[in-house]
Structure 1
Amino acid sequence: MSETGVIHDIGYQRYTGPRLGRGAGIGALYVHGLRAAFGLGRSAKAKIFPWLVASVALLVAVIVAAIKSQFSEFTFSYVDLDDQLSWMIIFFVAILAPTLVSRDLRSNTLPLYFSRPLRAADYVAAKFLAMVTAVWLLLGVPQFIMFLGAAFTTKTGFKGVWHEIQDLVPAWGYSLLWALLFTSIGLLIASLTGKQAFAAGGIVAVFLMTTPVVAVLAQLPSTTANHLAGLTSPITLINGVGSWALDGSIGFDIGRYGPIYAIEAFCLIVACLLLLLARYRKVSAL
């Protein structure tokens, strides 16, 4: 008795639409990451922390703008906002980085991503750009609100507005430095574990453990050690770059070592990205 097979047509059709390729995949991951940063498309619980942090930052900006409109001698600059919100940025990054990468490790979705034209570098670029954008918006939007308050209340017309623009643009660059450095560190740590709680704790620990080192080195009798103390912590590293790039208007005295601060910041960002890329190339090869 011979066996015969039967083919049943159940209505499946081949996809005949456009093949969008890697660019569309990177864009989709970027948009998804940016939405996830602020809890969009997720549960109400996921929206609480990011919007709480954003609300506090916006509230500070509104209060500062109101005070400066009434008291011209009040000296709170755009870059001061970044420094005052530094610890909020740390906790924002500690929550956001595991959300973007640790969940993918825990749920084993990376093989699905890499089975498509996406490469490890594409995944890293999309997640990195999404998080940089989110952190920059957290700082840049409140700074813009401060600018609007100052621009509409200036008593010197266009000259006053132009002066505010000259202060705002470098401050946006300073905010971008915060976003680049904190994102690179946060994503690298979060990529090491699929457990979000462990990743968040590790990120906070890195910043907490490096801060006391700065205080110790700053107390040494050596002037050189005092000037270079800020190199040991990401927060003071950024302050040092700001002090050098913005004519010493931020942070502490770094002497003539401003270029060293800038070089270390650049090398730290690049090193974190290279390690992150190596990590995901290893994952994609499994």
Structure 2
Amino acid sequence: MSEPTGVIHDIGYQRYTGPRLGRRHVFGALYLHGLRTAFGLGRSAKAKIFPWLVVGIVVVVAAGLTAVRTQTGQVVMTYAQFADAMSWLVIFFVAVVGPELVSRDLRSGVLPLYFSRPLPRGDYALAKLGALASALWLLLGAPQLVMFLGAAFTTKTGMRGVWDELLDLLPGLLYAALWAVVFASVGLLIASLTGKRAFAAGGIVAAFLMTTPIVGTLSIMPSRAVNELAMLGSPSTLVQAVGVYTLGDRLVPGARAEQMIGGFGPVYLAVAVLLVAGCVALLLLRYRKVAAR
């Protein structure tokens, strides 16, 4: 009878005895990781090129507007108008970052690893959504802060001028938050439908840019009511219409606002809320199905 040849080696394995932080900390870690991913932090230099190029553009534009205001004393662009002016950059930022946040995970098949932890399926989607919305708000809000600091340090009316600038800044930051929430909701939903980042990016750009001609077509229809509701045709113009309704002269003069949306401001606001709620609901449903595979 031969002697057994198997040997058990003690490799020093020890059970984890540290604190188990649970669901809230997992959610926070996933959100922070998503926010860092949006700006390429902790990744290769190549991954940092696009997001920081966009950041550089918006900051340079804000600094230029501040310099012109300092020299001439004229407000070239309000804080809220700055968000509108940078909307095309926001679209491409979402088209690149959204797929990075979710399409890569779908393609590499790591979702079962995420969901093997104390992380409900909905928390994954909400953490990614929160990260993208936060990144967009920082992208639009940080340059507004640059504009505010420039105006505050050059005001000729002392603290009263600083206070007036602050009262103008806060609506601008809220308007930037509206852009961020709407664009993040729509963009992340589209990105979650495919694991191919190129397809996801193309779908996002199409959703925001190819719907714009619909607005142009509706705006020249013979019906005045149709003209005033034309901005419902695209997510971008929907956000602008809500801004016109809620911010008024901070965005456009009163007469032009009346011409753009008439008395349909509450309708635009309700549609924006429903759009965000619908996108979030579909996003949660999407990940419930993905995790069940």
TM-score (norm 2): 0.94
2:171 alignment counterpart: 170
Distance 1:3 1:31 in 2: 56
1:260 alignment counterpart: 267
Q: 2:103, 2:192 within 8 Å by CA — same for their partners in 1?
A: yes
Task: Number of aligned residue pairs: give it.
Answer: 286
Aligned partner letter, 1:131: L
Distance 2:88 2:98 in 1: 15
2:129 alignment counterpart: 128
> 1:76: Cα distance to partner?
1.0
> 1:90: Cα distance to partner?
0.1
Deviations 1:235-286 (A, max 9, x none): 1101110011012543652111101111000100010000000000111112
> 1:99: Cα distance to partner?
0.3
Distance 1:248 1:160 in 2: 19
Instruction: Identify if the C-alpha distance between structure 1 residues 3 and 275 changes in structure 2 by more than 3 Å, giving closer, same or farther.
Output: farther
1:94 alignment counterpart: 95
SS of aligned partner of 2:181: helix
Which one of 269, 282, 292 corresponds to residue 285 of structure 1? 292
> 1:6: Cα distance to partner?
5.8
Q: 1:37, 1:96 within 8 Å by CA — same for their partners in 2?
A: yes
Aligned partner letter, 1:62: A
Q: 1:140, 1:175 within 8 Å by CA — same for their partners in 2?
A: yes
> 1:2: Cα distance to partner?
9.4
TM-score (norm 1): 0.97
Q: How does 1:153-168 map to 2 (within 5 A)?
A: 153-168=154-169
Q: CA RMSD in A?
A: 1.4
Structure 1: stretches of 5+ with no match in the other structure = none
Identity %: 60
Which one of 276, 279, 292 corresponds to residue 272 of structure 1? 279
1:27 alignment counterpart: 28
Distance 2:250 2:167 in 1: 14
Q: How does 1:174-213 map to 2 (within 5 A)?
A: 174-213=175-214
1:224 alignment counterpart: 225
Instruction: Identify if the C-alpha distance between structure 1 residues 3 and 104 changes in structure 2 by more than 3 Å, giving closer, same or farther.
Output: farther
Q: 2:78, 2:250 within 8 Å by CA — same for their partners in 1?
A: no
Q: 2:68, 2:76 within 8 Å by CA — same for their partners in 1?
A: no
Aligned partner letter, 1:245: T
Q: 1:39, 1:46 within 8 Å by CA — same for their partners in 2?
A: yes
Distance 2:249 2:240 in 1: 10
Q: 1:193, 1:199 within 8 Å by CA — same for their partners in 2?
A: yes
